[in-house]
Structure 1
Amino acid sequence: MIMKAFKDIEIFTRTAELGSLSKAARSLDITPSAASAALKRVEEDVDALLIVRSTRSLRLTQEGTLYLRYCQQALKLMIEARDATRSIHAAPGGTLRVSVSSDFGRNLLAPWLDELQTTHPEFQIRLILSDHVSNVMKEEVDIAIRYGVPPDSTQIAVPLAPDNRRILCASPDFIARAGQPATPYDLVNYNCLCFMVGERVHDQWHFLNRQKQDEAMITVSGNCSSNDGDMVRRWAISGKGIAYKSKLDITEDLRAGRLVQVCSEWQGEVAPLYLVVADRRQLSPLVRVLKEFLQHKCAGLS
């Protein structure tokens, strides 16, 4: 409604400046009748006659002259605001507020962003680390990087690592002391390190063995649980037990030998990684550069 009112004001201003309703209509690519209707709406809004019109000419009234001066100032500000907004949206620069889970954010995203900023120094990143699932519709974040499909189907979820899965892992020291489980069914005999969502402990771990056509849902237990995914990872590295982690989060630990995969013939549940925004118009050049960079980085870990 507001933008329609500004369009009407633009028609009034153009008519006054050109001295002709038909010329104003042609310059704005609208019909004379549409221009006339717009002028009528403006006059009804201010409750005053602004332009005296005849078949051959028109002239501004005293009220119209005063109103035109304010309208020209308002349109100038609107054009400046539009151009400034478009310039931010069009250029791959500016500040980007990114919400991300603690483990992925600390151990992968943060060093990746350091690398990105060496080639794109115009990037300004505000990194919000939390295992609380951000609501990009309500919270002051531009994008969220999260595992799993967003429950709100109105949000735009762009896949970064669609084939990522959870895997069982433990430190070599723990395996040397406690032995390695042969199947996920043996986990009931091991100390398992659990992640918490709010007050709910994620203690039901799902697995699939395609070769044996076996599917298992195991309820595990252990002496350590945390609502911080990075804390669970650190416990696993220190040898406290077996963890059920996103493979992305621990790929570097597996390569360095800090952790080893357990029951590798069994697939854990799918944990796709997504870049989430509230509206498709938020996929600005800045966000697209980040998306393509992260897709490349995630592919390199698979």
Structure 2
Amino acid sequence: MIKNQFVEIRNFVTVAQAGSFTAAAHTLGMTGSALSKSIMRLETRLGTKLLHRTTRRVSLTNDGDSYLTDCQNAMAILDEAENRLGSEQQTPAGRVRIDLPSAFGRRYILPTLIELSTRYEQLELTVTFSDRAVDLMGDGIDLAVRVGALDNDVDLVARRLGEQRRVICGSPAYLARRGVPLSAKDLAQHDCVIGWPLGQRPGWLLKNVEGVTQTHEIPVRHEIGDCEAILAATLAGCGLAQIPTWLVEEHLRSGALQSVLDDQAGDDTPIHAIWIKTPYLQPKMRVVIDALRLLAQSPGSRFRAG
């Protein structure tokens, strides 16, 4: 019913603009008889006469003139909406909600997103930071970057961006006071600083004598739910911590921290971009994903384990 109404309105506007049923019928690819019946149905539905018909020309009634103005305004709004939507399908536009790892996201991903938003003026970003897994659907997140193994979720798409490697380290003052651990067993005699265990037994990834990486349970003195705060505690001599190389490398070079058990360091942890699976990836999403991919592949990228 609604479709027929739009057809009748289109037919009326074409007749009114052409001033002739014959010319309008030619434009619309209809017979004059079918076009006339369409206008009559419209007039019947509206309960008023829209057109004066003579053998030579067609003119608008007062109601017809007013109705034509309203129809043209409505059609202009629809045309604008279609043009805008069509443009947005080609140009990155609209809001993308992104969740990033706290320290890594602020340091190495956010600058790229900010640059992207200046390049595409219609792109809008909502960026949050969390080191815990988020529910993309439940939390309304379009895309997330996650460090660590992923669950096998058929509703999500994952693109591997790189790897993260972590080292166990402590301040020289702490190691002078408590000694340097020479084996994983020695960790039982040390103060260890970790992130939130999320209900699991606290442990660090270490290689056993066969070279297989396993989670080694450790004693915990401090639990700190932020990577940079863990670094600050380690620099202050609070204990040993397993920290990503991208965060600690400058302190290792300067001697502010010293790595231990290097031969038993765990394997690389994957970094992924994940998003909800859809039949069509909108340009606003595609441009963000492509920017992350290029960032991960760039020389000196922090997405590469080192």
Give me the TM-score of the superposition, normalised by structure 1. Answer: 0.66
1:262 and 2:253 correspond: no
- Figure out how many residues of one structure are paired with residues of the other and give that number: 273
Q: 1:239: how far off?
A: 1.8
Cross-structure match for 1:32: none
Whether contact under 8 Å (2:96, 2:124) holds in the other structure is yes
Tell me the amino acid that sits aligned with residue 192 of structure 1.
Answer: C
Shift of 1:196: 0.8
The alignment partner of 1:239 has SS state of coil
Q: Which residue of 2 aligns with 1:179?
A: 179
Whole-angstrom CA distance in 1 between matches of 2:269 and 2:304: 17
5+ long unaligned stretches in structure 1: 27-38, 50-61
- Asked if structure 2 preserves the Cα contact closer than 8 Å seen for 1:195 and 1:201, the reply is no
Report the CA distance shift for 1:86/1:104 in structure 2 as closer, same or farther (over 3 A).
farther
Please give the alpha-carbon distance, in whole angstroms, between the structure 2 residues aligned to 1:25 and 1:169: 79
Residue 222 (1) aligns with residue 226 (2): no
C-alpha change, 1:289 and 1:15, in structure 2 (3 Å) is farther
Native 8 Å contact 1:15 1:23 kept in 2: no
Q: Which residue of 1 aligns with 2:98?
A: 98
For 2:241, which of 240, 243, 256 is the aligned residue?
Answer: 243
Whether the aligned pair in 2 keeps the contact of 1:103 and 1:230 (CA below 8 Å) is yes
Kindly provide the amino acid, as one letter, of the partner of residue 202 in structure 2: D
Equivalent AA in structure 2 for residue 239 of structure 1: G
What corresponds to 1:52 in structure 2?
none
User: Equivalents in 1 of 2:231, 2:271: separation in Å?
Assistant: 18
Q: Structure 1's 128 and 77: CA in aligned 2 closer, same or farther, altered over 3 A?
A: same
TM superposition shift of 1:182: 1.6
- CA gap of 1:269–1:276, structure 2 versus 1, over 3 A, is same
Structure 2 equivalent of residue 298 of structure 1: 302
Bigger shift: residues 72-81 or 127-136: 72-81
Distance in 2 (CA, whole Å) between partners of 1:197 and 1:129 is 18
Structure 1 residues 11 and 292: alpha-carbon distance in aligned structure 2, compared to 1, 3 A threshold = farther
Letter in 1 for 2:240: I
Partners of 2:158 and 2:179 lie apart in 1 by: 41
Distance 1:164 1:17, change over 3 A: same
Q: Which runs of 5+ in 2 are unaligned?
A: 16-23, 31-37, 47-60
Which residue does 2:143 correspond to in 1?
Answer: 143
> Which residues of 2 match residues 1-302 of structure 1 at below 5 A?
76-88=76-88, 90-91=90-91, 96-110=96-110, 116=115, 120=119, 122=121, 126-151=126-151, 152-161=153-162, 163-198=163-198, 200=199, 203-209=202-208, 212-278=210-276, 279=278, 280-281=281-282, 283-296=285-298, 297-299=301-303, 302=306
Tell me the CA shift for residue 10 of structure 1.
6.8
In terms of Rg, which structure is larger? 2
CA contact (8 A) 1:157 1:274 kept: yes
Quote the offset at 1:227 in angstroms.
2.3
In 2: Cα distance, 1:139 partner to 1:180 partner? 44
Who is 1:36 aligned against? none
Identity %: 23
Decide whether aligned partners of structure 1 residues 299 and 17 sit closer, same or farther in structure 2, where only a CA change above 3 A counts.
same
Equivalent position amino acid for 1:158 in 2: R
Q: Give SS of 1:158's match.
A: strand
Tell me, yes or no, if the aligned pair for 2:204 and 2:242 is still in contact at 8 Å: yes
Report how far residue 203 of structure 1 moved: 0.5
Deviates further, 224-233 or 126-135 = 126-135
In structure 1, distance between residues paired with 2:264 and 2:205:
10
CA–CA distance in 2 between the matches of 1:8 and 1:173?
83
Distance in 2, matches of 1:245 and 1:25, equals 72
The CA deviation string for residues 114-156 of structure 1, in whole angstroms up to 9 with x for no partner, is: 7x46984857654322223232223344422221344333122
Cα deviation 1:169-202 (Å, max 9, x = unaligned): 323332233222222232112111121155x255
Cα RMSD for the two superposed structures: 4.7
SS in 1 for 2:196: strand
Structure 1 residues 215 and 10 mapped into 2: Cα distance closer, same or farther (>3 Å)? same
In the other structure, the counterpart of 2:34 is: none
* More displaced 10-residue stretch of structure 1: 85-94 or 97-106: 85-94
One-letter identity of the residue aligned with 1:133: A
Distance in 2, Cα, partners of 1:182 & 1:104: 30
**Paired residues of 2:164 and 2:305 also in contact (CA < 8 A):** no
